[in-house]
């Protein structure tokens, strides 16, 4: 690693670590904020540049998710255009939340990536039925367990299946089965249930904790293997 | 024919990761800082405890993390 790279890396680390407490802004980020808080043509020009930046990020996300949209008809660029417009509103509305914990562009990108990703998931599931109950659960009964399966695995599976029906509330069961068994994207489920990603994830998290507790009460434990 | 699925992966999706998890809202708030720390080679997990666990348990946030990492990283 060259001295220049090391210096740049250390500088970036110091900036990102220090930013949340010191409010340090790099020059480019400070200039973004100044221009976006200006008035008249200067602000208009900054907003236009920001929109260009967000559109680039939204198109980047749509391109990454294109394989999930092969069955979708219509102009996929519409998704990116709509996402960039929504992200622009979000960034401008939350401009005061930016504290310099990252570069301004990285902070802004996440709004566009989020908006585009949510729209892609919803478009990909448009018109598809969202299964919340047993239809999605039954295939699990056939998965991965042959006659030579480990006794411990079989016991684990049976205890999880029993726990889903005995220790979860109906809402927790619905959310867990839809998200974790049937693979419904969380944003799609949120839209169908009139909820939010954050609220559904909390429900999922609570359900998982109950199931782990259920296993623990029976002397069982599952150590997840991170999917690479 | 029903495709046989890996039991451990199936159980992993159901039971999720173990440990503190910051949730989706905090994940979104911290994601840009976390990604820049990763790109800088710093210990992002120490700086933002619970975010890595969340990414393991939330496919949507993980996808958005991976995209931000790729996009911001492409500009380094």
State the pLDDT at residue A149. 60
Joined together, the tokens standing for residue A9 give: 């890396």
Place of tokens 């939340």: A97
Distances (CA, A) of B6 to A227, B16, B24: 12, 15, 27
List, for residues A23-71, the tens digit of each pLDDT value: 578 999 999 999 999 999 999 999 999 999 999 999 999 999 998 888 8
In terms of CA atoms, which chain B residue is nearest residue A57?
B71
Distances (CA, A) of A133 to A176, A183, B33, B60: 9, 12, 38, 21
Joined together, the tokens standing for residue B31 give: 């994601």
State the pLDDT at residue A148. 56
CATH class assigned to A134-217? mainly alpha
State the pLDDT at residue A139. 42
Average pLDDT over residues A109-131: 93
Out of A109, A157, A180, name the one closest to residue B7 (CB). Answer: A157
| A211 contacts on B by Cβ (under 8 Å) | 14-15
Angle CA A97–A103–A104, to nearest 5:
50
Tell me how far apart the alpha carbons of residues A124 and A104 are, in angstroms, rounded to a whole number. Answer: 31
Domain positions in chain B: 7-74
List, for residues A83-93, the tens digit of each pLDDT value: 999 999 999 99
ipTM exceeding 0.90, yes/no: yes
List, for residues B39-59, the tens digit of each pLDDT value: 999 999 999 999 999 999 999
Domain positions in chain A: 3-124, 134-217
How many CB atoms within 10 Å of residue A7? 10
Out of A61, A64, A110, name the one closest to residue B31 (CB). Answer: A110
Is the Cβ pair B57, A223 closer than 8 Å? no
State the pLDDT at residue B3. 39
Is the Cβ pair A144, B5 closer than 8 Å? yes
A141: which DSSP letter?
Answer: H
Residue A128's pLDDT band, with cuts at 50, 70 and 90, is confident
Tell me which of A60, A136, A143, A163 to substitute to probe the interface with B (most B C-beta atoms closer than 10 Å).
Answer: A143
């Amino acid at each position: 690693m060259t001295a220049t790279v090391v210096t740049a890396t250390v500088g970036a680390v110091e900036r990102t670590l220090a930013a949340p407490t010191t409010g340090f802004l790099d020059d480019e980020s400070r200039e973004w904020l100044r221009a976006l808080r200006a008035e008249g043509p200067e602000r208009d020009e900054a907003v236009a540049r920001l929109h260009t930046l967000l559109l680039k990020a939204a198109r980047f996300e749509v391109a990454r998710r294109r394989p999930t949209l092969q069955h979708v008809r219509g102009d996929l660029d519409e998704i990116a255009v709509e996402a960039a417009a929504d992200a622009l509103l979000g960034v401008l509305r939350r401009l005061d939340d930016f504290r310099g914990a990252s570069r301004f562009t990285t902070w802004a990108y996440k709004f566009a990536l989020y908006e585009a990703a949510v729209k892609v998931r919803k478009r990909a599931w448009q018109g598809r039925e969202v299964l919340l109950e047993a239809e999605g659960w039954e295939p699990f009964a056939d998965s991965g367990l042959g006659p030579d399966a480990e006794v411990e695995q079989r016991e684990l599976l049976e205890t999880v299946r029993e726990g889903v029906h005995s220790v979860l509330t109906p809402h927790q069961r619905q959310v867990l089965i839809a998200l974790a068994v049937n693979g419904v994207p969380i944003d799609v489920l949120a839209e169908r249930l009139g909820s939010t990603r954050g609220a559904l994830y909390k429900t999922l998290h609570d359900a998982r904790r109950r199931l782990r507790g259920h296993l623990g009460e029976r002397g069982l434990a599952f150590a997840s293997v991170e999917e690479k | 024919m029903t495709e046989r699925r890996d039991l451990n992966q199936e159980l992993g999706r159901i039971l999720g990761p173990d440990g503190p998890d910051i949730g989706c809202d905090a994940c979104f708030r911290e994601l840009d800082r976390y990604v820049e720390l990763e790109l800088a080679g710093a210990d992002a997990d120490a700086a933002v405890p619970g975010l890595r666990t969340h990414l393991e348990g939330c496919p949507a946030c993980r996808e958005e993390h991976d995209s931000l990492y790729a996009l911001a990283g492409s500009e380094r």
